[in-house]
Every structure is written in C-alpha cells, then in structure tokens.
Chain A
C-alpha cells in the first residue's frame, strides 16, 4: 500500500511540475471551460427576465451554471487524446515496459489536473458568492457530501469513457474524432447548455437512456438542491453505478484485446 501511495504521489507531483511549465495554456483552457457556461447563463438569464422558465428563475440558472462550471472541471477527462497519442506515436512502449500499468499514470494525471483547476474554480465561486447572493448555496453538509460522491462517480464514468475511447487507437486513427463527437453530443445531453428538464421530451428521453446526464446534470442537481427526494437519489446514484460499471468493464475488455494486437509502434 505504501508503495502505491508513493507511486501516485510521484506521478501527481510530476504532473504538477509539468503543468507549471504550461501555465498560460492551462489558464486559457480553464478560461474556455468557464466561458461556455457563462455564455449559457447569459442567454438563460436574458430569457428568464423577471419571471421563470419552467420553474427556473434567474437565481436558479445562476446556481445551476456555477455548479456546471465546478462539476465540469472536476469530472473533465482528456485521456482519449493522451492515450491516442501514446499508442499512435509509440509512447506506449516504455509505459508497457514499466511495472505499473499506463492507467495509473492517467488516473494520477486526472487527480492532479482536477485538484488544481477545481480548487481555483471553487475559490472563484466563493469570491463571487460573497458579492452575489443568487449563487450562494445553503449550508447543508449532508447534501455537499452526496454531491461529492456523485461528482466522484461522474469523474469515474468520464475517465473510463475517455480512456476506453482513447484505447480505440489500437485499431483506428479516428479515436479522438469519436471522442470529439461525444463531447459535441454531451453539450446537449449532459446539461452543459441547459438544465435537462428544459430539453424537449424526446431528447431528454434519449439523454436518460445514456450516461451523459449522470456525468454532469445529476451531480449539479444534487449540489444545487434540485434533486433532493430519495427516488431522485436512487435513480441518479443507481444510474451512475450502472454506467461506471459498464464503462469500467468496457475499458478492461478493450485494453486486454487492444494490447494483444498492439504492434508496438516505432523502432
């Protein structure tokens, strides 16, 4: 156990040290991730006016999109792009020759990235909440704990989803294109552009049959208090567990098959 703690700490430390070399690029990515929900909030703020849109008032939209910004940072996974590059450029070779699987480096990298960016967003939220009561959350540690659990499960789903998609590079050069397609679809189906309850019924039904709502919409609803009944929790956490298991199994199957037919690119 101590060996694994040391390994993870060393991997996280390295990821932070590398990040420090790319401060400007990371700041720009973060800015983009803040800009998208800010634009969505602006649009819904304007539409809501002094009234409500299907029960959502301006303050509800503000809390929702602040939640989207934070949860999105905490669950975002870039792994498909990294894994695709490792496989296609032969960078997987030395990783496969190490006594720890490449997945551990990816997990550590995710922890490093999320801890850094989400802490900045959280501080930003606290600063804004001090000045703007609309985005304040009521003091409710139990709900925050549930939101944390939902966020961890969501991060797990997005990680395995991205990692599995990246592993498709064992067979195709289009792995990142498949991931970009999922990013595009997730814009609508995960609740990034609007709360799911505002989507047309057929689209919301499609979303509920897939993993997208469980990686963003549900944790945000738990955090902001939109989801609060036992039935909603049961449905949300149950869905998260099902999709987490499904993507983890898919990841394992794709990894085992892919690595067996890997041509060890380069050299």
Chain B
C-alpha cells in the first residue's frame, strides 16, 4: 500500500495542493500468495497497473511492503542484504545497467568485481553467455551504438555472470523486434535447461508466456486471479473450440451453420465454434459432408481468454 498525492487540474488546483495537500492510499498488491519451486519458469500476467511489477520488485527487495511476508531463496528479500542479492538477478526491460558509453565488456568486468566472481569462473561463464547469445561481434562496441535487441542480450549476459539461482525479468522483450524477441526466448529456455535457474518474469507479450512459462500467475488490480498452467486456464475458461476451415467450392455460410456457430466467414476461409467435447465429432462430420480443403481444431486465442478473465474479474 502506498500514498499518492492527488490534485485538481489547473493553477488553482496546484495552489490548493501546495497549501493543503491531499493523498489517496493505493493498494498496489493485496492478498497475493503463491509458492514457486526451484527451476520453474513462472510468468506474471496482468494489464498495466495490475501489480505484477510491484510484486516482482517486492520479491527482489526493492520495495518494502506495508504488510505481509515473502521468502526467496531462504531470505526475506527486503532484509536479505548482500547474501540475498548475490543469489538473484533483476533485468529490467526499460532500465539498463550497462554503462552507456562503454563496450558491454566493461560492464561485465564491473559486475565480475561487484559479485566477486573468480577470474577463471568469470571467463568460463562469459564465454558461454557470449556464445549462447551470439555476442562475439557486439561486446567490444560502445553500448550506445548497438541495437536494442543486442543491448538486451548484453543486459542478460551482464546479469547472469554471477550465476544467480533466481532470475527476475521485468518485460525482457519490451520494444524488441520479433527476431530479437525469439532470440531472447530461446536463450532463456536454453539457460534454464543448462543451469536449472528459477525464472520469474512479467511480460505483455503472450508469445513470451507461451514460449517460456510452465505456469502463469494472473494478477488484476493487485489480486491474484489465477495460478496454474496456461492450458488449464484455457480449458477452464472456454467451453468451446474453434475449427478453422479452408472451404471448397459451393460451401455457403448457411450450410456451415448446420455444424456450429459461424464466427467468421470470408470465403474460402471460415471459423466455426463448437462445444469443446463435440469438436472431434463435428470435424469428422464436416469432412464427410462438405468439400473442405483444410481443417484445424484450435483453442481460442490466449489473448481472448486472458481478456475474458480480466473482464469477468472487473
């Protein structure tokens, strides 16, 4: 919970705020409880201002909560001090730790000293990270001269040189193009497989979540709405499946409506929604009764599911 200063618009409002400031108490996070096992990749999902970044910052000890408890790697984060911080790493997609005017290698060396990584271990880890992230041609250029995607890769490398047990990622693919996003995701999967690190991340990109996380925590208005596997959420939230079709000649919308709810019809493409447990039978009937060029059964788009979760919570 924190206080924010509120004021009316205009000069009069500004003057009133000077003489008699008004504050409003905001509950950023409330009643959020969960346990993350070693080696899990867990994603926090939620709209802007939901409380997911606040939760992440509490777990890294940046913010002192007004109430409640947390244990991370055996420490209370905001009281853990250096021994706790030695075991974690925080990567912020919108704030970088790299020394802007110097090559990334200089930040690596600085972090080696800060985290007291022995020279041989530093070289081994640095070489591994440079190879995994394909940074050979990047780390000797000033950070200000490398692309956003390359910078994020350097940021990840700098954050992992001390081999943290737990990696906290806040919007790690923010602003990156699809190729760079994919490279970051592939790296995180490989790194976790090799080193068994626990990863907690927030992201607005569903592709990050589906590619990385085995489990999602959905937070809305500071409260935990869901904790579990993404596919279980989809199954729970949706009573229907989508059948994507490419139609042959002569198939009309009316004809298709005999098999389910026609959600889209742009010949030759069409989308049909059918009850979840009847999807297979409906597909078989479609193939035997109509001229169908292509057919696929899918869950509704994850974005739609999440949107429904938030809509129901509101």
Contacts and interface: CB of A to CB of B under 8 A. Distances in A.
A99 B81 CA distance: 7
A3 B118 CA distance: 10
A99 B90 CA distance: 12
Contact of B64 (A91, A100, A260): A260
Given A14-B110, A21-B102, A267-B171, A99 B115 contact: yes
A266 B106 contact: no
Given A21-B101, A94-B95, A10 B2 contact: no
Nearest to B144: A21
B102 A14 contact: yes
Interface stretch (B55-63, B208-216, B242-250): B55-63
B110 A10 contact: yes
A267 B92 contact: yes
B90 A97 contact: yes
Contacts of B224: none
B95 A266 contact: yes
Interface string B128-145: 000000000000000000
A221 B53 CA distance: 54
B170 A267 contact: yes
B92 A93 contact: yes
Interface string B98-114: 01011000100110111
Contacts of B239: none
A251 B150 CA distance: 38
Contacts of A22: 101
A10 B111 CA distance: 9
A98 B114 contact: yes
Interface residues of B, number: 36
Interface string A1-45: 001001101110010011001100000000000000000000000
A213 B136 CA distance: 54
B89 interface: yes
Contacts of A263: 2, 63
Interface in A75-90: 90
Contact of A9 (B57, B83, B94, B113): B113
Interface string A230-267: 00000000000000000000000000000111111011
Given A11-B110, A18-B101, A94-B97, A6 B116 contact: yes
Contacts of B97: 94
B50 to A, nearest CB: 12
A9 B2 CA distance: 39
Contact of A93 (B62, B64, B113): B62
The bracket for how many chain A residues form the interface is 20 to 34
Given A17-B102, A98-B114, A264 B85 contact: no
A93 B83 CA distance: 18
B302 to A, nearest CB: 23
Given A7-B114, A99-B114, A93 B171 contact: no
A263 B64 CA distance: 9
B63 A14 contact: no
* Residue among B60, B106, B109, B113 with most chain A CB within 10 A: B113
Contacts of A14: 99, 102, 106, 110
A267 B116 CA distance: 28
Contact of A18 (B63, B102, B114, B171): B102
Contact of B92 (A6, A94, A262): A94
Contact of A100 (B57, B82, B102, B170): B82
Contacts of B90: 93-94, 97
Contact of A97 (B60, B83, B93, B106): B60
Interface string B32-68: 0000000000000000000001100100111110000
A237 B296 CA distance: 84
Contact of A7 (B54, B86, B93, B113): B113
B86 A99 contact: yes
B46 to A, nearest CB: 13
Given A7-B113, A14-B99, A264-B57, 17 more contacts: A10-B109, A10-B114, A17-B102, A18-B99, A21-B101, A22-B101, A90-B92, A94-B90, A97-B62, A97-B85, A99-B83, A99-B86, A99-B115, A100-B114, A261-B64, A267-B92, A267-B94
17 contacts: A10-B110, A14-B99, A17-B106, A18-B101, A93-B57, A96-B61, A97-B62, A97-B89, A98-B85, A98-B115, A99-B85, A99-B114, A100-B82, A262-B62, A262-B64, A267-B53, A267-B92
Interface of B: 2, 53-54, 57, 60-64, 81-83, 85-86, 88-90, 92-97, 99, 101-102, 106, 109-110, 112-116, 170-171
**Closest 8 A/B residue pairs (Cβ):** A10-B113, A99-B82, A97-B90, A21-B101, A99-B85, A94-B97, A264-B57, A264-B62
